Amino acid sequence: MTFSVQPVDTALDAALRAKIDGKTKPLGALGRLEDLALQIGRVRGSLTPTLNQPHLVVFAGDHGAAKAGISAFPQDVTWQMVENFLAGGAAINVFARANGIALTVVDAGVAHDFGDRPGLVDAKQAVGAVSVQANVSAANVMPEPKVGAGGTASYLDGAAMTAEQCSTAMKRGAAIAAELADKGCEVVGFGEMGIGNTASAALLTHCLSGAPLADCVGRGTGLDDAGLARKTVLLQQALTLWSERNDDPLTVLARYGGFEIAMMAGAMLAAAQRKMLILVDGFICGAAALVAARLAPAFLDYAVFSHLSREPGHRLQLDALGVEPLLDLDLRLGEGTGAALAWPLVRAACAFLNEMASFESAGVSEKL
């Protein structure tokens, strides 16, 4: 599978910088917002960019390894939280509503049969199924057979996914992002839900960044010291089991990833292909972004890293990618909450670029 992402066009850089510097403020006085405004102008290819129809997509998936006790919560919490999303009661629902962001929930591979539900995109893989495309409009999705369908296999026993399953998940994520673009969405944020997915993200971070495994492993949903030690030991065993280990991003993703992480990676790459601004949430979304950036480095031109998670591996991801987050609020919830909270800053950066007066237009004297 190949994803070709073109770097942003920098032809407007001089004009964008002149426009930003010419606003009624001291040079550089809006700090990081000025860099953000430049990035928005580049991504949208305009001196007067728009960010219409902001949308958040939350991908949910189960992990076979979760049954071994790598999380403080039981695996059933994944499907229970999806129900909470659909009922509008989770933090991401609240933050999306507060900030005027549309929200889509995707069953990327939850070990539960939700049936045909309004507001839920069924992108789950049935056993042996490899070619059904997901659709953002839930009513248009043809449901697959659910016999044996669910989350990934356990990477404590072998690969979490086959190469074919990983490819299919990425293609389904890409189809979701492409449909959003077709409907006029210009900025998309990503979130996730999946008990055990901080463990998966830790393995991906270790393999793709080279950081020591112990530095990548965190408490996830709230493990105590004994639980954290057990989690680290299990993940080290998973690494030892892979005798033919390499750093190919797709191979690593199939070995240790979750369906929700694979779909996010595909969706991020497709969004970059369509020149959408991408809001990346925390640690698990960061793992998907790490995969995306390894496959297509130009992806980073389109990505805004919303916040710094309290999961220790997230700082390592950001350092490996050479990026800085907008916010540092000690968040560790996931769901896309950091992306939703960063959206007002992104919107403000775009607004000042478009609406703030210049020294010339306002008749204000410039610096001597």
Catalytic residues: 335
Return the exposure string of 112-148: e unless at least 16 CB atoms fall within 10 Å of the residue's CB, then b. Answer: bebeeeeebbbbbbeeeeeebebbbebeebeebeeee
Six-digit token string for 259: 């369906």
Place of tokens 């007002």: 344
Round to whole Å and give the CA distance between 219 and 4: 36
Rounded to the nearest angstrom, the gap between the alpha carbon of residue 194 and the centroid of all alpha carbons in its chain is 13
Say which amino acid occupies 219.
Answer: R
The H or E element containing residue 14 is helix 13-21
- Closest by CA to 174, choosing from 68, 269, 238, 93, is 269
Judge whether 313 and 289 are in contact, CB under 8 Å.
no
Collapse the DSSP code of 224 into the 3-class scheme (helix H, G, I; strand E, B; otherwise coil) and give the result: coil
Nearest-5° Cα angle at 212, 208 to 215: 110
Q: Which residues are registered as beta bridge partners of 59?
A: 106, 192
